[in-house]
Structures are given as structure tokens and as C-alpha cells.
Amino acid sequence: MTLAMAWLEWNGTVYWSQYSRSAFEPRSAVTSLIEGIWQLLPGSAHFILRSRIFMNYEPTEMCRGMIVVCGKRMARLPAPPDEILRRMRLKIDAIEVDALTVSRTSRSRGHSSSSAFSLPELDRSIECWLLSREGRLLVCAINTSGRNRTQHAEMNLLQLWWMREKRPLPAGSRLITTLEPCPMCAGAIWECIERTDDFCVQYVSPDPGTVVNKSVLKRSALLEQCKNLDQGVFFQDSNFKEF
């Protein structure tokens, strides 16, 4: 089986990632590449990711959504060109970014330090929650995309859930977010759901931008706006599930 790879070239340097994705996992070669570049080079990531991203596999909705939000263009090739492969193998002007560990252990409200909220980059207050069929809180997260554009609240939540549970978002559960999911988050949610016919995504405020129209959830029956839900707690504290 061919290992999934993603790569791009910018200013003479090849940035590349390879990843063997498990079913329902909120990560792929493409997302590892984009997230890793933002983590490694936050000051240059915006410019680097305007380069065309290549991959040797059919991109998932999660891959497509992250490229829409954090990248620019993509193309599928059977494999990297021989010269690119040689540079990857010999590490000549080539940087593998998928080995970079992106810690999300401080992304949930229950595990965040107070100093994290004082950073000027984190001024967009967006939160999301995953609730069980019975209304029990399973996991929650906040937006931390000031320095890494991939770390929206929903993406942080999905990573936390996978890190702790190693399983899809359970049937009958619902994800509530204070802002309508962008194409990146929508694609990741879509790929991580156990059953698309038994899941619900609710949001409080619509996204005023036009890019949200490219969201896979816009084409599904999973998404609904709940104007009567105020930002805050939607569950009983006694039902909080501590991991």
C-alpha cells in the first residue's frame, strides 16, 4: 500500500508530509503538512501555503476544506517527481513537517492556563462542545488560531476527542459551536462522524463570509442554526465527563 504523501515547494525548499490515516481520524498527510507549516513557520506560513499543494491520494473533504481555508491550490499526482523524492530522501533543501508534534492538551477549557487567554492573537472568542445523546458533555474546546490558522475550536475539539478516545464522534451526539463551521472544520467533522444519519451540528451565529458556502455541511442535513442558544453552558455540570 502506498503511503499517503503531501508536498509543496516554496523558495527552493520542499516541505512535505507523509501520514497513514486511521478511519475517522482528524488528520491526513495534507492536514499534517498545512498544520505543521503553520506551527513551524507562523510568520511565513501564509506565503508558503499559497504554493500549490500536491498529494498522491484522493483528497478527503477534510483535506479540501483545509486547503480552502489555509491554503490556495491543490493537485493530485501518482507520486512526487524523482527529483523531489531524491531531495526528500537526502534531506537536501527538503523539510519533513509531519513529524512535528502539535500539542493540543491545553486546548480544552478544563485544561487551559489563564495566560493563554491573554495573548492578543487569541481575540476571537469561539467555543464548541460535543454532547452525547443524553446531553452529557464529552469534550469542549476553544479557538486558538491566532498563531496557527488551523487551530479553530472545532479542529481542537476533534483532535482532543481522537487523542483521548481513538474512535469516531459517536452516533446520536451533537456538536454545538458558537460560530458556523468553516469549510475546514466542516470537512473534518464530516470525516470523523460515525453515522451521518444520526448526528447534528448546531451553531449560534452564521459566518458572514462567503467561503463558508464551500462547506460540505452546507450540502447535508446535519447543520442547523439555533438562534435561541446563548453562548455559554448548554449542559448540567454534574454530567461533565472528565477524561
Q: Give the residue carrying C-alpha cell 452529557.
A: 136
Give the confidence band of 124 by pLDDT, cuts at 50, 70, 90.
Answer: confident
- What is the model's pLDDT at position 239? 42
- What is the model's pLDDT at position 228? 65
* 166, pLDDT greater than 50: yes
Q: Is residue 103 part of a domain?
A: no
Does one domain contain both 118 and 18? no
Instruction: Pick 99 or 218 by higher pLDDT.
Output: 218
Terminal Cα distance for the chain, rounded? 35
- What is the model's pLDDT at position 107? 38
Q: Is residue 101 part of a domain?
A: no
CATH number at residue 164: 3.40.140.10
Range of the domain at 119: 109-239
Q: Is residue 117 part of a domain?
A: yes
Of 69, 96, 123, the domain-final residue: 96
Cell (9 digits) for 136: 452529557
The type of residue at 132 is S
H helix runs in 141-212, sequence order:
153-165, 183-192
Does one domain contain both 117 and 215? yes
Q: Is residue 140 part of a domain?
A: yes
Question: Per the structure, how many domains does the chain have?
Answer: 2
Helix (H, G, I), strand (E, B) or coil at 18: strand
136-156: average pLDDT? 93
- Taking only the tens place, the pLDDT of each residue in 175-190 is 999 999 999 999 999 9
Give the pTM.
0.84
Does one domain contain both 125 and 220? yes
- Taking only the tens place, the pLDDT of each residue in 50-109 is 999 999 999 999 999 999 999 999 999 999 999 999 999 999 999 999 644 443 333 344
- Single out the residue of 190, 191, 222, 223 nearest to residue 207, CA to CA: 223
Does one domain contain both 45 and 149? no
Average pLDDT over the chain, rounded to whole? 85
107-132: average pLDDT? 57
Instruction: Pick 201 or 227 by higher pLDDT.
Output: 201
Residue 175 and residue 128: Cα distance in Å, rounded? 7
Residue 106 and residue 116: Cα distance in Å, rounded? 9
Instruction: Pick 161 or 209 by higher pLDDT.
Output: 161
Residue 220 and residue 226: Cα distance in Å, rounded? 16
Q: Give the residue carrying C-alpha cell 472568542.
A: 125
Other beta carbons within 10 Å of 61:
18
Instruction: Pick 22 or 113 by higher pLDDT.
Output: 22
- What is the model's pLDDT at position 229? 64
* 13, pLDDT greater than 90: yes
- Taking only the tens place, the pLDDT of each residue in 23-46 is 999 999 999 999 999 999 999 999
Q: Is residue 104 part of a domain?
A: no
- What is the model's pLDDT at position 146? 87
Q: Is residue 102 part of a domain?
A: no
